[in-house]
Structure 1
Amino acid sequence: MGSGKRNLTMAAVAVVCAMTVLGAPVTAYASQSIPTEPTPSPTPTPSASGSSGTASPDSTPVTNEELEAVRLKLEGLYHDAAVATDAYNAAEEKADKQSAEIVDLAHEIVEGQEKLDTLQDLIGAAARAQYRGGGLPPEVRLWLSENPQDFLEGADRLRQGQLATKGLLAEMTKTQQDLEQYSKDASARWEKLEANRKAKEKAKKKIKKQIAAAEELEAQLEDDERERLAQLEEEAAQESQAAWLDSGILDEINGRATEQGKKAVKYATDQMGKPYEWGAEGPETYDCSGLTSQAWAAAGRTIPRTSQEQWRQLRHIDIQDMRPGDLIIYNSDASHVAMYIGDGSVIHAPRPGRTVTIAGAGTMRILGVVRPDA
């Protein structure tokens, strides 16, 4: 068997092993993306000279059908990595929020304890004053007083002091209750924070395994096979875009960008050529939702961090009504997002190994469109 065939066989075996380790795909779409034809039998590992990136003269050419199977497997692996990246980003966002809440609660506890100490001092002083003035019955103190008016005024102040003391006691009780609640809330948030940290680590491991499996699969290909694979990817994208445009949809899309939308588009296009990195929000690297969220932050609008939350929380609009700056959400699980920039094109951070680039809006499976601004 030629080195091209051997390498492709190794690639298929590597993917099967990777998928066995990783478990079933996250979504139905991911499982559909991976062909179900029987896996070729393992073959001996080629020597270093046999995997140098140049096919030997007697090698059997790898067919386009076989490369298409590799393309679909890669698509499935990177899709699952994108799903795991969204889970990682969501856990990170929640952890950051919970950490800030814990800090706020800590401040509340400190302030509450200081307030409680002050109230206890005031109540102690009031009690001592009442004790010093409360040794004789009121009628005896009136009889002994040289100035009855002074006595009556003093009695009135005593009553006011007693009422104030009751108020201090009530406030102290409420402060103690508040402190207990703050402590319970802080404990609950610590538990959630720990759970989100574990979720982040789990997602991180899943991302790394999926990307490693994809990179290993690509590494098994010869140079000419990689070129043909890239050509197949481009052809598949062009076919999808052509089918989308043939529907006549572009004739219906004529929305004009708002000032905020223009700012978001400018920010995104200024990032052209920067590498994709999962979990990244710039300024040097981005993942898909990191790019869109930062672009809109630059335009003065805070939007959710992940593509799934962008789909869930932002206003949905009909695709024919979209305008530059709107976000197109892709795949049935909302695992990818791109920004519409007009003329049927989007800018996005595609996947590991790629850079921020412009692509046809219809090159991927569109779930829907959301609008960050009013």
Structure 2
Amino acid sequence: MGKRRKPSPPSRARLAVLTTAVAGGAVLAAGTAHAEPTPTLASVKEQVDKLNEEAEQSIERYNGFQARQQSLQGDANRLQDKVARGQETMNELRTRLGAVAGEQYRTNGIDPSVQLMLDSDPAGYLERAAAQNQVVEGQTALLKQARDEQRRLDQDRAEAAAMLAQLDSVGASLGEEKKQVQARLAQAQALLNKLSAADRAKLNAQESAEKAKAAAQQAAAADRASRAAGRPDLGAAAPASGRAGDIVKFATAQLGKPYEWGATGPGTFDCSGLTGAAYRAAGVKLPRMSQDQWNAGARIARGDLQPGDLVFFYSDLHHVGLYIGDGKMIHAPRTGKNVEVLAISAIPYMGAVRPA
């Protein structure tokens, strides 16, 4: 067999070409791996809308925790006042028993029942005194009053302690829900910041147009209301009177005001904050959360809707608006938007309620 010929080494020129090609490929691969394409306006809007919907769910939970916290705080304050009054009563009773003891000392010595009552553990005394039957006839009423008051005081203290523990728990939940809202809104803003300058300009133009539209709706409604004796006329919406008229009139006056989560007016609102404020203007108090407002009245079929009814959206009822007729509502949409008129068919409709 003949000897195999060794392949000749590549020339310097060929090595240079190969090296350049490999290096160029590596740079291209690295650039492909790390470059982030500019997101489109449509994709960002889709993600931002989803984050805002999730934020609104958290906002309604936040509103519920906040309302619960306020209720618990009021109950805790009343209980603590009651405990303070009970302690004052006990102090007065012990002072009276001290006077009895002093009188007995000057005569025949302190009665064992009174001496025990003045002990540092009056609750313990009351049990021992009852067991030993040491209460003399002249002190029965006073000692019985002291015993009953001590029992009430102990019960009120235990109830106040439990109430404060609940308050701490709700406060922790409120803080956690607030973080969730802030995190989702921050994510949405970060996505918006990634838009190209052209897309940001388009989005700003859209938002400006929406604000201008809401302002025009508000001005037109106010003008029509003043010319129609306070009865707003939004397009073909059915006229409302009485309580419903007051609700629609109030809601109309809020058109164009900014959405702010957790707000109930007068300058800013979230969705349930707006509906609650509108009903307050008509003398009706609604619960704070949209889900609780769902249980604040009778269910109304879509075909029976009347101005002033509450209309609810999404499967978990985390959004609520005020029906004004003609298939439209006034609602506070989300962060970055203003109170506006919107067709109830524009978002997932779930049902309606007419509060009593």
- Superposition TM-score tier, normalisation by shorter sequence: 0.5 to 0.7
Partner residue of 1:322 out of 305, 320, 327: 305
Counterparts of residues 17-32 of structure 1 (less than 5 Å): none
Who is 1:108 aligned against? 82
The amino acid across from 1:315 in the alignment is A
TM (norm. structure 2) is: 0.67
Report the CA distance between 1:267 and its aligned residue.
1.3
Partner residue of 1:195 out of 169, 183, 207: 169
Who is 1:169 aligned against? 143
Who is 2:185 aligned against? 211
TM (norm. structure 1) is: 0.64
Partner residue of 2:279 out of 293, 296, 303: 296
Report the CA distance between 1:261 and its aligned residue.
2.0
String of CA shifts for 1:28-61, please: whole Å, max 9, x gaps: xxxxxxxxxxxx9762487xxxxxxxxxxxxxxx
SS of the aligned residue for 1:273 comes to coil
Moved more, 208-217 or 270-279: 208-217
Who is 1:54 aligned against? none
Who is 1:186 aligned against? 160
The amino acid across from 2:243 in the alignment is Q
Contact 1:265 1:295 (8 Å CA) reproduced: yes
Who is 1:43 aligned against? 35
Who is 1:3 aligned against? none
Contact 1:256 1:323 (8 Å CA) reproduced: no
The amino acid across from 1:294 in the alignment is A
The amino acid across from 2:270 in the alignment is D
Counterparts of residues 218-229 of structure 1 (less than 5 Å): 218-222=192-196, 225=199, 227=202
Report the CA distance between 1:297 and its aligned residue.
1.2
CA distance, structure 2, for counterparts of residue 41 and residue 189 of structure 1: 57
CA distance, structure 2, for counterparts of residue 42 and residue 334 of structure 1: 42
Who is 2:344 aligned against? 361
String of CA shifts for 1:54-75, please: whole Å, max 9, x gaps: xxxxxxxx8xxx6544433222
Larger radius of gyration: 2
Who is 1:261 aligned against? 244
Who is 1:118 aligned against? 92
**Greater relative contact order: 1 or 2 (C-alpha under 8 angstroms, separation 6 or more)?**
1
Report the CA distance between 1:170 and its aligned residue.
2.1
Structure 1 residues 192 and 346 mapped into 2: Cα distance closer, same or farther (>3 Å)?
same
Structure 1 residues 183 and 362 mapped into 2: Cα distance closer, same or farther (>3 Å)?
same
Report the CA distance between 1:336 and its aligned residue.
0.5
CA distance, structure 1, for counterparts of residue 298 and residue 152 of structure 2: 38
Who is 1:281 aligned against? 264
Report the CA distance between 1:330 and its aligned residue.
0.7
Paired residues, number: 270
Report the CA distance between 1:312 and its aligned residue.
3.5
Structure 1 residues 255 and 123 mapped into 2: Cα distance closer, same or farther (>3 Å)?
farther
String of CA shifts for 1:115-167, please: whole Å, max 9, x gaps: 112223344555666888989xxxxxxxxxxxxxxxxxxxxxxxxx9667323
SS of the aligned residue for 1:371 comes to strand
CA distance, structure 1, for counterparts of residue 296 and residue 101 of structure 2: 56
The amino acid across from 1:259 in the alignment is G
String of CA shifts for 1:260-297, please: whole Å, max 9, x gaps: 22212211111111111111111111111111111111
CA distance, structure 1, for counterparts of residue 105 and residue 62 of structure 2: 63
Partner residue of 2:320 out of 325, 337, 344: 337
SS of the aligned residue for 1:312 comes to coil
Contact 1:116 1:176 (8 Å CA) reproduced: yes
Structure 1 residues 117 and 164 mapped into 2: Cα distance closer, same or farther (>3 Å)?
farther
CA distance, structure 2, for counterparts of residue 355 and residue 255 of structure 1: 23
Let me know the Cα RMSD of the aligned residues. Answer: 3.1
The amino acid across from 2:171 in the alignment is R
Who is 1:85 aligned against? 59
CA distance, structure 2, for counterparts of residue 119 and residue 255 of structure 1: 68
Who is 2:234 aligned against? none
Who is 1:14 aligned against? none
Contact 2:41 2:195 (8 Å CA) reproduced: no
Structure 1 residues 69 and 174 mapped into 2: Cα distance closer, same or farther (>3 Å)?
same
CA distance, structure 1, for counterparts of residue 254 and residue 178 of structure 2: 25
Structure 1 residues 258 and 105 mapped into 2: Cα distance closer, same or farther (>3 Å)?
farther
SS of the aligned residue for 1:362 comes to helix
Gaps of 5+ in 2: 1-31, 110-134, 211-236
CA distance, structure 1, for counterparts of residue 138 and residue 337 of structure 2: 71
Report the CA distance between 1:224 and its aligned residue.
5.0
CA distance, structure 2, for counterparts of residue 320 and residue 174 of structure 1: 61
SS of the aligned residue for 1:209 comes to helix
